[in-house]
Structure 1
């Protein structure tokens, strides 16, 4: 692997590792922690910045801080051969171009930055520069889905050059965006890649994994000849760039990581429609007990917050002692706020409560599932206070499983599933639960 560049992924929530395995996820980005990632045997590692949960200014500040420390860490390790990926949402939500601009300002100049939003395990493909979600077998342009109406990251275009023009407020016009179409990728793009310069914006098609595998081969060849590229992508290009063998333990056998065959705990924060469907199906499964968190009570001040926490922890202990798995989920009704800032601030309050719940979980749980990208990130970095975790692989397409270190003070060797909000069919949460408990019931 030494002849390949180190792939460094700045992940805006912790689910970008959903197509790889056996690598490190870093929850901190001080120079020493980044050096651990750079020295690790895996060709790829992830820095979980969680910037999708932040306002624009904070996202830019954090991204610059990571890059400044990365610059020092790379110099300290003597590494000059690396690729940077700004991993974000396969439904085009996130701080673009804020993050790619911030990365370019510290680690640039780059010859090009590529938008590669395809994520095949989640049914996201790009064809003729139009990004689609496959819903019930039908490719639907993403601007026609609920994700385009996101109150923070909404957009109006599925045609990626127009999306770029919209998000850069015309700084990059649609006509100047380079388009790598399926035919180009399948016939080879190396010569064209070598001609890119001056941080040219390019958008990349992908219908099946072999498309991006071919593109990655050409990218790595161009990089070996001195071209410097930056990626803004979903997860599937990472599979192609890292080119890993199959994961050590197959998804259906991951129950062997569960601690002493004990029941686990499931924390559900995401509010997208798919999560709500999956939650409803999970609550019908034997061995599960639902515990609703009435988040509206958090609007009534700190005392309510403390009372709510104690109520929930008491219920969790009761469920756990009965040998069942508690599913702690936030109330599903959508609250309205006067502006985006207030909404984000309330989101922080909800997350803070959920992390207090994680810290209060029985210390002998067998496994933990976090549902929702931001919720999963908070579980790792705040609830479990991890500096890093080793990625075991995928328990379901698009759903990563990591394990805590053996010296964790509260939950050593705990398997934790990171389940994005918008992945999987209606039974996916139930499927994961059944896989983790199949040897114990």
Structure 2
């Protein structure tokens, strides 16, 4: 049974958080997609960043990617491939918009599978209900802060009800096929062979072994002609790609730092876990915090914004001159917006300022840690203006580290950590910082 190429459309850049040694693509023209298809790794990621966009723009970008993929797949003569719409393990994102567009452009598919389990982040699915580990307690995700997201809020943790809610009844809950833990562990190949007409399926998973078994059945069914689409968190990708251990252990990632000089930490995410991790990092005597007050960013003039940028970069220079590491972070105040559109405008304005900061960083930084999914995507695609980056592996469970290409104009061979906002314990950010600073 040949290994199909696994093509992942990632709605922020953190979906590669369980694999290693593959390409992340920041562009999706036919030539760049062909590079991904030709790469020796069985999996590659296209970073669409659609979670930061309006539904209309997300659909437009997804369609453009799929149409270019069709051309690239034909050009490269690829016969076997799987398409994954990778999204948030706490159920935020443009579902079913993205899977609908993929099905229109790259279908028909026999089924699409919701597989939100992400074990490294404490997310499991049992009896079709999705849970998040909160302070050691398995909590239905609709009871967490993520369900109250101002853009992607939802009311249900039971996946068939979630599907009915998000599709506005187009797919009723009773029409969602349920693959329970017992089904996965007993083997699902025969059921998979019976699926047709893009049947929506909700998949349980409590351990990686559950997904290993399910992935083996999926690949066997696909080898017999079944065509499947996935709306998935990262853990399924581990099982589908089957890459084995990463070449360099998480504890040894300091070898990729470019110099003995300090790196930079950039914190854009504002979720509660990020704030807790930031507080712990700022207690480290070798770092200095630089707060970026973004509360009035939409009201500021260009001149005021330029002055703020200059002031931050000057502080960065001074901190590094003193031999310490600057930790640049957005103000933590929870803001309320009159509409989703204004919320997205604000997010774009914050990102634009942070990317100007990235472009203004000293060229000799040893590493860059980017905290937050959308922030990390923008760092790669806009701040560093990369076409591709090579994933080295994980510096912490669920936390990827990539390296910029040798021909990157300003920051060649720079290790960049893509740290999701809601991953890791309270010490997670400090742990990653100390690993890259070679402090243990």
TM-score, normalization: structure 1?
0.99
What number of residue pairs does the alignment pair up?
439
Secondary structure, aligned partner of 1:295: coil
Q: What's the counterpart of residue 6 of structure 1?
A: 5
Query: Which moves more between the two structures, 79-88 or 298-307?
Result: 298-307
Q: What's the counterpart of residue 335 of structure 2?
A: 335
> After superposition, what is the alpha-carbon deviation per residue over 1:355-376, rounded to whole angstroms, capped at 9, x for unaligned?
0000000100000000000000
Secondary structure, aligned partner of 1:244: coil
| Contact 1:90 1:124 survives alignment (8 Å) | yes
Secondary structure, aligned partner of 1:328: strand
| Contact 1:297 1:305 survives alignment (8 Å) | no
Cα deviation for residue 262 of structure 1 reads 2.0
The CA distance in 2 between the partners of 1:297 and 1:64, in whole Å, is: 35
Q: What's the counterpart of residue 423 of structure 1?
A: 423
Q: What's the counterpart of residue 208 of structure 2?
A: 209
Q: What's the counterpart of residue 193 of structure 1?
A: 192
The CA distance in 2 between the partners of 1:297 and 1:303, in whole Å, is: 14
Q: What's the counterpart of residue 180 of structure 1?
A: 179
1:222 aligned to 2:221? yes
The CA distance in 1 between the partners of 2:276 and 2:194, in whole Å, is: 47
The CA distance in 1 between the partners of 2:56 and 2:288, in whole Å, is: 40
Q: What's the counterpart of residue 62 of structure 2?
A: 63
The CA distance in 1 between the partners of 2:260 and 2:174, in whole Å, is: 57
Cα deviation for residue 323 of structure 1 reads 1.3
The CA distance in 1 between the partners of 2:114 and 2:374, in whole Å, is: 22
The CA distance in 2 between the partners of 1:232 and 1:96, in whole Å, is: 8
Structure 1: unaligned runs, 5 residues or longer: none
Q: What's the counterpart of residue 309 of structure 1?
A: 309
Secondary structure, aligned partner of 2:41: coil
Secondary structure, aligned partner of 1:102: helix
The CA distance in 1 between the partners of 2:32 and 2:261, in whole Å, is: 32
Cα deviation for residue 301 of structure 1 reads 1.9
Runs of 4+ aligned structure 1 residues displaced above 3 Å come to none
Cα deviation for residue 38 of structure 1 reads 0.2
> After superposition, what is the alpha-carbon deviation per residue over 1:107-166, rounded to whole angstroms, capped at 9, x for unaligned?
001000000000000000000000000112110000000000001000000000000000
Structure 2: unaligned runs, 5 residues or longer: none
The CA distance in 1 between the partners of 2:261 and 2:93, in whole Å, is: 37
| Contact 1:264 1:365 survives alignment (8 Å) | yes
Secondary structure, aligned partner of 1:300: coil
The CA distance in 2 between the partners of 1:272 and 1:51, in whole Å, is: 19
> After superposition, what is the alpha-carbon deviation per residue over 1:318-355, rounded to whole angstroms, capped at 9, x for unaligned?
01111111010000002222111011011101100000
The CA distance in 1 between the partners of 2:206 and 2:142, in whole Å, is: 18
TM-score, normalization: structure 2?
0.99
Q: What's the counterpart of residue 278 of structure 2?
A: 279
